[in-house]
Amino acid sequence: MPHSDTAVAVLEFEDAGLSFGPRRLWSGLSLRIEVGEFIAVLGANGSGKTSLIRTILGLQQLNSGRLHVSGRPPRRAADDIGYVPQQRRIDPLTPLRVRDVVGQGLDGHRWGFRRSAGRAARIAAALESVDAAAFADMPIGLLSGGEQQRVRVAQALVADPRLLLCDEPLLSLDLRSQRTITALVDRRRRQKGTAVVFVTHEINPVLPYVDRVLYLADGGFRAGPVEEVFTSATLSGLYGVPIDVVRVDGRILVAGIPEADEPHHHDSGAAAVGAQRV
C-alpha cells in the first residue's frame, strides 16, 4: 500500500496529452502516484502504454500538460528511476556474468565498469533481493527466461530508485515465473517504499498486488481501483461497444474488445541486457 512520508509525489501527470500526428493516444490525464504505490497500466496494443513509459523516462515529449518525477521535469538517465524492459531471451554466447549485468544499473551504457566504494556490496544486495545470488557468477545467457528477468529487476533496483517502471516484464514467461517476478516487485515496494508503474497486457498476474489501475483505450482512459475500472459499464464506455467483464475463481475475464484493438506482444525497443539508466 502507498506510504505518505513525503509531500512530493513520486510521479505526477497534470492534464497530460500525447498524440502521434492526428492520432490521439490519450489526453487530459491527471494522475498522482505516491511513495510505495503499485499502479498497473493496461490497454490494447497501440493505446500508448509504452509511450507513457517513454515520457516518464524523458525519451518522448508530451503534446500538452505537464509531467513531474519527484517534483522535477523528466530527464534521461535519472538515478531515481529504475527500468525493467520486456522479457526477451539473451543470446547464450553473451560474454557477461550476472553480476556484470546488474552492475550496468550503476554504470549505465558506458564501456567498462565504474569502481565506486561499496559497488560490489550494492550488486550483491540487489541480487539477494531478487533471490538470484546463487547464480551471480554464471553467464547471463545460460539462465532461464524467468531467471534472466529476475536479473533485470535486480539491475533496475541496484541504484535504489524511488520509482520502478516495468514495461511488459511478464511477456513469454510461464505462470510460475510471472508470479515470481510480480511478487519480487511487490516485496521491494513494501520494504523500500518504491513506487511501481507496471505495464501489462493482463490484470490477473498483478491482481493480488495492485493499488490502482490506469486503463488506456481509444484515446481515453480510466484510473482507479480495480473494482471500479474493471466493470462492464466502464470498459464499454471506453471502447464505445458492449464489453463483458466476468469474475471467475478470483480471476477477471474480459470479452468483447474489438478485434482491431486486441492486445499484441510488442517490442519496447530496449536492449536485451541494457542498463536501467536510459
Give 16-71 pLDDT, tens digit per residue: 999 988 889 999 999 999 999 999 999 988 889 999 999 999 999 999 999 999 99
What is the model's pTM? 0.86
**Which positions of the chain have pLDDT values less than 50?**
3-6, 109-113, 260-278
Interatomic CA distance for residues 42 and 49, integer angstroms: 7
Residue in the structure block whose three cell numbers are 559497488:
119
Domain boundaries, the chain: 11-261
Q: Distance of alpha carbon 109 from its chain centroid, rounded?
A: 20
Write down the CATH number for the domain with range 11-261.
3.40.50.300
Give me the pLDDT at residue 106, please: 87
| Segment (H or E) for 165 | strand 163-167
What DSSP assignment string belongs to 37-99? -EEEEEE-TTSSHHHHHHHHTTSS--SEEEEEETTB---TT-TTEEEE----PPPTT---BHH
Backbone angles phi, psi at 251, to 5 degrees: -110, 155
Backbone angles phi, psi at 125, to 5 degrees: -65, -40
Give me the pLDDT at residue 115, please: 57
